[in-house]
Amino acid sequence: MQIFKSIATLFTSSLGSQLIVVLMMPFLTRYYPESSFGDWALFVAVSTTLAIVSSFRYDQSVLLPASVRDALKLVKSAVVTGLLTSSLALIVIVGLYLFEIVEKTIYLLVPASMLLTCMIQVVTTWSNRCKSYKLIAWAKIMQSSSTAILNIVFVILWAPDLGVRTLVVATMIGQCVSLVWLVWPAIRRARKTFSLFSRVRLSKVVLLKYCDFPLYSTPEALLGTVSTMFPLYASSYLFTSNEAGYVALAHRVLMFPVALIGGAVSVVYAQRFATMVARNQSISSDMLRVWSIAGFIGLLPALMLNMFGEYLFMFAFGEQWQMSGDIASSLAFYVYLLLVFALTSGAHVVLRLQHMSLILAIMTLTGKIIVAYMLQENLINMMIGFAAMDLVATLFMNLLALYKSRNVKHENFDVA
């Protein structure tokens, strides 16, 4: 089946890019203090949160139109809104810095990182529409490789004076490499399409047709991203940069299978779901198949991490990261179940359930705020509470998508 070849392509790239990141972490944790990891993770969290909504989610709607011209109009809309929101973010952050509300100069780079992430999202979605999975795959590998190489160079040159600045600079240069890798081959291989893109005008009719993305998907994505990053925000605010560093490392390791498997499967199935729904075909059997296979594969690794997480972290990253191991061990089964159901997260977008997702995102974030207030004395218990809230929300949204998809007559269908 073509879909498995597509998944294999993205899985291989995810494996390569994520292995580069994971193999670099034991090296970096022995040179960078916990506080630097905490500040770096907070920078990435803020820029990612803003980038997710910077295009008003028109980038996600690119998969849906049958017309290439309409899809390109949505691409241009996403690019324009991304530029405008990044400029606005720059003005706001400079103002906050001048009034000393934001004290660290590194946060002045947030709008630039936000814009880079936004553009990568737009071009990746377009490449997904065109089924250019190898292009997406290599972009991920190049981003991870360039970031890793720069981090090694920085350690060699400035080992005594390493800090959050070098981590941020390496991250942003990696983003630049990824964006160039995505855009340049696409322009060379599809000059007619990009010539059309340069001539196409923003269309009020097209924007209104997909107005549910800025109206519902944008606030839902903002709340969802804030909710996802909330453990880092809460640990930074309620504790210190050191605790934020522990949470950041645990989160990065726990998200390794999510990025490795989830990235490949969700990208391909998002395109497949969009095609099937457009043809009035049910996606319920595909959702159930993904859940059962992922549940079987992930059970043993989750069990091993739950039992030996503390010792694995101390061995791999150093004894000073024992707390990260405790956090990862406590969250192993929660993250395992989250991964299983997150693989089909694209279903609620193609089924146009953004309004329900928005309501659920509000409830989840509210619940996490309550958890943070009630469990602020114990970092690990607070992290468990956050994970439980995420699991309930993800499970509910996927079951709702499954229920709605079963109202559509199912036909066997393989994406060509």
Tell me, what's the pLDDT at 261? 66
Higher pLDDT: 384 or 404? It is 384
Same domain (yes/no): 221, 305: yes
User: Which pairs count as long-range contacts for 8-12, CB under 8 Å and 24+ apart, including other chains?
Assistant: 8/264, 9/133, 9/134, 9/137, 9/264, 10/133, 10/136, 10/137, 10/263, 10/264, 10/267, 10/268, 11/260, 11/261, 11/264, 11/265, 12/137
What range defines the domain where residue 182 resides? 31-209
Highest mean pLDDT among 1-5, 168-172, 195-199: 168-172
Average pLDDT for 230-247: 94
**Do residues 204 and 324 share a domain?**
no
Same domain, 169 and 221: no
pLDDT value, residue 407 = 64
- The residue ranking higher by pLDDT, 159 or 312, is 312
Q: How high is the pLDDT of residue 11?
A: 62
Place of tokens 């996403």: 78
Task: Pick 159 or 20 by higher pLDDT.
Answer: 20
- Residue 390 pLDDT grade (very low, low, confident, very high; cuts 50, 70, 90): very high
Which residues, at least 6 apart from 203, have a Cβ–Cβ distance to it below 8 Å? 70, 73
163 and 307 belong to one structural domain: no
Confidence of residue 136 (pLDDT cuts 50, 70, 90): confident
Question: Which amino acid makes up residue 408?
Answer: V
Mean pLDDT of the chain: 85
Residues whose CB falls within 8 Å of the CB of residue 374, separated by 6 or more in sequence, listed in order: 385
Asked if the model's pLDDT at residue 415 lies above 70, the reply is: no
% of the chain exceeding 70 in pLDDT: 87
Share of the chain above pLDDT 90, in %: 41
Q: Are residues 259 and 386 in the same domain?
A: yes
DSSP state of 281: -
| pLDDT for res 309 | 92
- Number of structural domains (the chain) is 2
Most confident of 42-51, 61-70, 278-287: 42-51
State yes or no: pLDDT of 104 exceeds 60. Answer: yes
Domain boundary residue, one of 145, 177, 209: 209
Task: Out of 209, 234, 260, pick the residue that ends a domain.
Answer: 209
Predicted local confidence at residue 72, as pLDDT: 86
Mean pLDDT of 323-348: 88
pTM above 0.85, yes or no: no
Mean pLDDT confidence for 379-403: 91
Instruction: Inform me whether the pLDDT recorded for 348 exceeds 60.
Output: yes
Instruction: Give the model's pLDDT for residue 196.
Output: 59
- Give the range among 71-75, 232-236, 377-381 with minimum mean pLDDT: 71-75
Residues 322, 185 share a domain: no
Q: Mark whether 230 and 202 lie in a shared domain.
A: no
pLDDT, position 412: 40
- pLDDT for 414 equals 40
Residues 266 and 137 both lie in one domain: no
Residue 413: predicted pLDDT: 36
If asked whether residues 171 and 249 sit together in one domain, one would say no
User: Of 182, 209, 236, which residue sits at a domain end?
Assistant: 209
pLDDT at 405 over 60: yes
Euclidean distance between CA atoms 397 and 347, whole angstroms: 9
Q: What is the pLDDT of residue 121?
A: 94
